[in-house]
């Protein structure tokens, strides 16, 4: 079977070795003659998985002491609400930047519970840049940002210093590069980009924020409860957590964040260099804000669309169509996508140029 070059924006590509181990565990997990999908989450075998997954998050990301790591369900969309419940005081106020569809949804969720100050927005330019000229006020309960914007292909290259808790939705670029976790009071991320399959959501929370807002929180939304129960307050996402553990093993064995950051820089440079060189294409995001995870680009002349689409389809490229908000093409280059797949796409772009 010909290799498929998987550029899906999420759920996305996982390393082949991870998929093989996961496949085996679905048949017979931990020599129990039971499937991973049917074991008790309270069993000794799965508790060991949760413990290892938690420990690997801390090790790979170099999480400082005084932080809890939690695996929950609900995706980042539930994280929008969990952030508010755990950090915004009654009749409180929070600050946000509006850098894309998911950041905008987070803002709307927060407005249901308190005042929201939008410090910067790139909506005026269809979110093709990251706002930078703002100061985080000291009278808000927290500041929230989205590190990478999958739809629009922009990424924060640094984070503002502020005197209030810093919260970040890192769903689409966590584990893709080195980051100073001590900057943040709360990080949340859906697993289905660089960590594992859809179903689990990772939370990294500074213990100091627990209980500080004075709000009565529904039990499932209270991060302190989940931390005290070691992510076992209710049945956790067993399969997604297990595959996340396998992915973290793979990442650690190959050199961790320094290794994968170099790989991701290589892939992004290869594709963006071709986008900028090739007269038939142009990128949609401001160059200084381009995402290493999601490269968005368009044809300068739509007359070439049929020919280009045939080229990449014939090359077994999958998942490259751009989001309807931007159009064109979106090449999602998450951790497990090999540089060879990026080269195949670049070759298609060069082949199109030769036909014109």
**What amino acid positions are annotated as catalytic residues?**
102, 169, 193
> Given the structure tokens 């009749």, which residue do they identify?
91
The torsion of the CA quartet 342, 346, 352, 354, rounded to 10 degrees, works out to: -150
- The DSSP result for 286-320, as a single string, is -GGGB-SSEEEEEESSGGGHHHHHHHHHHTTEES-
> Given the structure tokens 């294409």, which residue do they identify?
281
Residue 40: how many CA atoms within 13 Å on its side-chain side? 3
**Residue 332 pairs with which residues in a beta bridge?**
294
Separation of alpha carbons 286 and 222, rounded Å: 38
Separation of alpha carbons 250 and 234, rounded Å: 28
Structure tokens at 301: 């002349």
* Residue 156 CB neighbour total at 10 angstroms: 21
Separation of alpha carbons 50 and 41, rounded Å: 9
CA proximity to 200, closest of 250, 241, 172: 241
Separation of alpha carbons 102 and 170, rounded Å: 11
The torsion of the CA quartet 331, 337, 343, 344, rounded to 10 degrees, works out to: -80
* Helix pair 16-27, 238-253: axis angle to 10 deg: 140
């Amino acid at each position: 079977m010909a290799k498929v070059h998987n550029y899906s924006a999420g759920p996305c590509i996982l390393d082949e070795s991870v998929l093989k181990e996961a496949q085996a565990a679905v048949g017979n997990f931990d020599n129990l003659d039971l499937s991973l999908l049917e074991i008790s989450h309270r069993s000794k075998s799965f508790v060991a998985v949760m413990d290892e997954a938690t420990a690997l998050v801390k090790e790979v990301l170099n999480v400082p002491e005084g932080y809890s790591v939690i695996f929950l369900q609900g995706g980042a969309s539930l994280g929008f609400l969990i952030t508010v419940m755990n950090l915004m005081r009654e009749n409180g106020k929070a600050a946000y930047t509006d850098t894309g569809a998911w950041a905008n949804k987070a803002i709307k969720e927060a407005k249901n519970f308190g005042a929201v100050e939008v410090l910067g927005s790139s909506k005026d330019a269809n979110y093709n840049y990251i706002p930078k000229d703002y100061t985080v006020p000291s009278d808000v309960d927290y500041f929230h940002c989205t590190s990478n914007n999958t739809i629009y292909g922009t990424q924060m290259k640094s984070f503002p210093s502020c005197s209030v808790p810093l919260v970040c939705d890192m769903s689409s670029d966590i584990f893709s590069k080195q980051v100073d976790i001590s900057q943040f009071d709360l990080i949340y991320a859906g697993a289905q980009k660089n960590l594992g399959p859809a179903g689990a959501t990772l939370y990294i929370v500074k213990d100091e924020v627990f209980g500080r807002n004075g709000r009565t929180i529904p039990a499932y939304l209270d991060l302190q409860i989940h931390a005290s129960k070691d992510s076992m307050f209710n049945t956790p996402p067993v399969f997604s957590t297990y595959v996340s553990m396998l992915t973290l093993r793979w990442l650690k064995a190959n050199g961790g964040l320094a290794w994968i950051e170099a790989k991701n820089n290589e892939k992004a440079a290869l594709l963006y260099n071709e986008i900028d060189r090739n007269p038939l294409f142009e990128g949609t995001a401001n160059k200084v804000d381009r995402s290493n995870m999601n490269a968005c680009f368009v044809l300068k002349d739509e007359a070439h669309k049929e020919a280009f689409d045939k080229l990449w389809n014939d090359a077994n490229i999958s998942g490259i169509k751009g989001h309807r908000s931007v159009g064109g093409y979106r090449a999602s280059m998450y951790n497990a996508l090999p540089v060879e797949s990026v080269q195949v796409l670049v070759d298609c772009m060069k082949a199109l140029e030769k036909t014109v």
